[in-house]
Amino acid sequence: MSTNPNDCLVIVQVSSRKVAATVAWRDADGERVVAHKGVECDWYHLEERGRRQAIAEALNMACQSAGVEVYSVFVSVADPSLRGNFATGFADFHGETLVLTENERAMALARATHQPIGTEREVLHALPQRWAVKDEIGEKEVDDPTGARASRLTCHVLLISAGRETRSEIQHLLDGCEVYLEGMIAQPVALYRGLQSHLPKRGSTLIIDCGARFTSLLVHRKQRLVHVETHPFGGDQLTEAIARELGTDVLQAEHLKRELDISIHAGSQEIEGQTFLWRDVQERHRQLAPAARVCAEQLREFFTARAKVLRDLELLAQHGKVHLTGRAAALGGLPAMIKDVFQMPVVYGSSKSDREVSSELADLMTVGLVRQAAQDRERRLAERQASGVRQVAHAASGLWGWLTTRIQ
C-alpha cells in the first residue's frame, strides 16, 4: 500500500438518515476502499453539537479501522442549491505550436473552472465536455489533448456550483473536529460516477435519485453528464402530505407510505372479498387508497413539470432509459408512473436484478465518491504543478529581460 499522503482519501457523506466516512487509497490500478463506517442519525433534526459528534464518530471509526490519521476530508452533502452552467477556458501559446502536456491541459481546465459565478456561489466540479486544439491547419475536436500539437487549447466544461453557505456550515463543523475541508462533492455527481460504467453509450439516459428530502435528476448523453438539478422534494414530503390529508401522526403516515402502491388510488373503499378481524388493520387498509392518491398526485405533478423542462431544453432523445435510485424509489407503482411521464423504459439502479435498490445505491455512492475525490485530488495536484511551471517560466522571462536590458 502507498505511504504517500497524497494517495490517501478520506470522504464524509452526509445524508438525511446517516453520516458515513470512507477511507480509500489511490494506486496505479485505481482506487481501493479500505474502510467504510457509518452512524445512523436524523441529520436535519440534530443541533450543531449533535452533527459535529456524528461526523467525529464516523471519522474516528473509519480511520481507526484503516490505521490512518485524518488531516483533511472531502465532504458530500445533498444540496438543493446545486446548479449546472457551461463555461469555456483556453490556453493560448501566442502563435507558437507546442506538444501539449498535462500542464497545458490543467491550465485550460483551471481557466474554465475559475469563472465569475457570483460572490454567493462556488464551483464544486468542472466536468469537461469537449476539447478543441488549433494548429496550422485549423481547429478540431479531440478526445484528449495530451500529446497533440497545437498553438491554442480550448476546454468546454459543465460547472457544478452550489451556495457558499453550505461549505461554511460544513467547515464550521469540521473546525470543531480539527479537520481541514479539502473539497465538497455534489452527491448527484458522485452517483453518476458510480453508475457511469453501467450506462448505455447511445440515446439519452435519465438518472433519478429519489431520496428522503431531495430528488436529483441527471442527464447522460454521448457518454457525458450534460445536466444536473436537485430539488427539495422527497419521501419526507410525501409522508407529511399523507399525515395532513388523513389527520394522522407522521410516524403512522410513514408506515402507511411503505405499504402503498400509487398505481391504485381510485377511492377509499375497502378491498372486496376480504374480512379484517382487527380494528387497526381494517383502519390501515381503509387509509391506503386516499394515501396512495395523495402521493400519486404530488409525484405526477413534480415529474411532469421536470419532464417538460428537460424536453424544452432538448435534453431527452427519442431513445433512452431511466435509471431510478434512492430510498423513495421503492414506493410501489413509481416506476410505472415515471415510465408514463417520461415515455422511457425504467430500471432500478444499475439494472442488476439481484440487487436491492437502496443497498445498491449505498455501494454506487461510495464508489462514486471515491472516484470523484481521487479526480479532484489529481486536478488540484496538476493545477499546483502547472502553477509552479508558470511561475518558473515567468521568473525565467523576467531574468532574460533583465539580462538583455543590461547588455543593451
HEC string of 256-316 equals: HHCCCECCCCCCCCCCCCCCCCCHHHHHHHHHHHHHHHHHHHHHHHHHHHHHHHHHHCCCC
| Predicted confidence (pLDDT) at residue 234 exceeds the cutoff of 60 | yes
Q: What is the reported pTM?
A: 0.83
Q: From CA 165, how far away is CA 153, in angstroms rounded?
A: 34
φ, ψ dihedrals at 178, nearest 5°? 60, 45
| Predicted confidence (pLDDT) at residue 63 exceeds the cutoff of 90 | yes
Sequence-ordered list of residues with C-beta below 8 angstroms from that of 235, at least 6 positions apart, any chain: 210, 211, 212, 213, 257, 327, 328, 331
Percentage, residues of the chain above pLDDT 70: 87
Q: 5-80+166-186: which CATH topology?
A: Nucleotidyltransferase; domain 5 (3.30.420)
| pLDDT at position 208 | 95
CB neighbourhood size of 49 (10 A): 10
Cell reading at 340: 408514463
DSSP per residue, 61-92: HHHHHHT---SEEEEEE--TT-EEEEEEEEEE
What's at 143, amino acid-wise?
D
Tell me the mean pLDDT in the region 276-289. 56
In the chain, where are the structural domains located? 5-80+166-186, 83-161, 199-351
Q: How far is CA 287 from CA 274, 300, 340, 379, in A?
A: 15, 20, 25, 54
Domain pair 5-80+166-186 / 199-351, same fold? yes
Pairing of strands 83-92, 72-77: unpaired
| pLDDT at position 277 | 40
313-352 pLDDT per residue, tens: 999 877 889 999 988 888 888 999 999 999 999 998 887 7
CB neighbourhood size of 39 (10 A): 18
* CATH number, span 83-161: 3.30.1490.110
What's at 59, amino acid-wise?
L
Structure confidence at residue 388 as a pLDDT band (50, 70, 90): low
What's at 199, amino acid-wise?
L
CB neighbourhood size of 277 (10 A): 6
- Residue 359, strand partner residues: none
Burial of 245 (0-12, 13-18, 19+ CB in 10 A): middle
Element containing residue 39 per DSSP (H, E): strand 30-40
Sequence-ordered list of residues with C-beta below 8 angstroms from that of 22, at least 6 positions apart, any chain: 9, 10, 11, 12, 13, 33, 35, 36, 62, 366, 369, 370
Q: How far is CA 390 from CA 34, 151, 269, 380, 394, in A?
A: 37, 17, 74, 15, 6
* CATH number, span 199-351: 3.30.420.40
Least confident of 108-122, 152-166, 264-278, 286-300: 264-278
